[in-house]
């Protein structure tokens, strides 16, 4: 659809019902219901100052506005969902991870830790078992009193440091994008529409105004192109920084995992050496005790045979 030049108007996507515009589908694609709900926000049937959408519809608006960088609709969806206060803890975590809202992720973590009921198997499947294990550990520490209520956030920041940094990096990317590029307004008198003047009287001011307007339009176009190029470079720079940060975190994690594996291997080898030494010492002790000990008879006792002097004399009849 976006290729130029177009071969034929009939072959362009969206020109006919037989050749519609196809949006990416799949688990990470765009669902039909999400697109339909997003259209409700873009083109509301009832003109009003505020949009009246349900929780599911606002979630669809949030997903697609984040995907297509409709930042005003993204902020509106976040504000409305927070105002409705109907998101569950698991929904805050999954949505926060998907559309990059860090404070939703932390809020969902804290709610699961502080609530009285433990996490269910279904919730663990949604947020993944590694996250569930970390949350259970912090929850157990809180119940034992080793972690105060105010220190839960610090433990979450430590355990989920890598994930939260990635989410915040992409969240800053949304804040760095400007939908409407602001330009400085010229202090000169705005150009009036140039109309064809057939009057030969005073032609110079008309030509001067025309040249001034053309020059102003050219400068404005150059400024727009420069600002667009700067914005693209800034987006590329942010993306590269985020990728470098992710790579550094990944390498650091690999180093930690290798170090843990090395320590575990050393501990295993030491344990094997200790067991072998104990077995050797036991075998040596059995050899020193002599034969028969393996049957529980103990050390054999040897006695001298009786001598003739030790015999008592017989009594006569």
Which tens digit of pLDDT belongs to each residue from 246-272? Answer: 888 888 888 888 888 888 899 889 999
End-to-end Cα distance, the chain: 140
> Rounded mean pLDDT of 135-147?
86
Predicted local distance difference test score (pLDDT) of residue 190: 46
For 165-182, write each residue's pLDDT tens digit. 999 988 888 876 655 444
Question: For residues 105 and 93, is the Cβ–Cβ distance under 8 A?
Answer: yes
Predicted local distance difference test score (pLDDT) of residue 10: 60
Give the global pTM.
0.51
**pLDDT higher than threshold 80 for residue 119:** yes
For 107-118, write each residue's pLDDT tens digit. 999 999 999 898
Q: Find residue 170's DSSP bridge partners.
A: none
Spatial separation of the C-alpha atoms in residues 153 and 171, rounded to whole Å: 19
For 194-240, write each residue's pLDDT tens digit. 444 444 444 455 677 778 778 888 888 888 888 878 878 887 787 78
For 16-53, write each residue's pLDDT tens digit. 777 777 777 665 678 878 888 878 777 765 555 567 88
Angle between helices 152-159 and 129-144 in degrees, nearest 10:
150
Question: Secondary structure of 42-58 in the HEC alphabet?
Answer: HCCCCCCCCCCCCHHHH
């Amino acid at each position: 659809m976006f290729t130029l030049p177009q071969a034929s108007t009939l072959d362009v996507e969206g020109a006919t019902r037989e050749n519609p515009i196809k949006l990416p589908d799949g688990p990470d694609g765009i669902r039909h219901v999400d697109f339909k709900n997003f259209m409700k926000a873009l083109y509301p049937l009832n003109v009003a100052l505020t949009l009246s959408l349900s929780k599911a519809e606002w979630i669809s608006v949030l997903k697609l506005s984040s995907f297509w960088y409709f930042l005003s609709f993204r902020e509106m969806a976040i504000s409305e969902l927070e105002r409705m206060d109907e998101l569950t803890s698991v929904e805050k975590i999954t949505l926060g991870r998907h559309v990059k809202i860090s404070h939703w992720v932390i809020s969902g973590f804290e709610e699961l830790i502080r609530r009285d009921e433990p996490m269910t198997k279904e919730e663990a499947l949604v947020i993944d078992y590694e996250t569930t294990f970390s949350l259970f550990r912090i929850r157990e520490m809180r119940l034992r009193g080793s972690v105060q209520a105010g220190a839960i956030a610090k433990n979450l920041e430590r355990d989920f440091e890598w994930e939260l940094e990635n989410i915040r990096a992409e969240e800053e990317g949304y804040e760095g994008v400007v939908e409407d590029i602001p330009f400085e307004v010229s202090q000169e008198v705005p150009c009036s529409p140039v109309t064809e003047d057939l009057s030969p009287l005073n032609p110079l001011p008309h030509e001067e105004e025309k040249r001034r307007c053309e020059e102003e339009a050219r400068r404005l176009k150059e400024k727009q192109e420069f600002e667009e190029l700067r914005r693209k470079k800034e987006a590329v720079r942010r993306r590269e920084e985020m990728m470098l940060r992710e790579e550094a975190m990944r390498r650091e994690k690999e180093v930690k995992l290798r170090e843990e594996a090395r320590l575990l291997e050393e501990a295993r080898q030491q344990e094997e050496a200790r067991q072998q030494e104990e077995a050797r010492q036991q075998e040596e002790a059995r050899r020193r005790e002599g034969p028969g000990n393996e049957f529980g008879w103990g050390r054999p006792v040897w006695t001298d045979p009786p001598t003739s002097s030790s015999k008592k004399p017989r009594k006569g009849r």
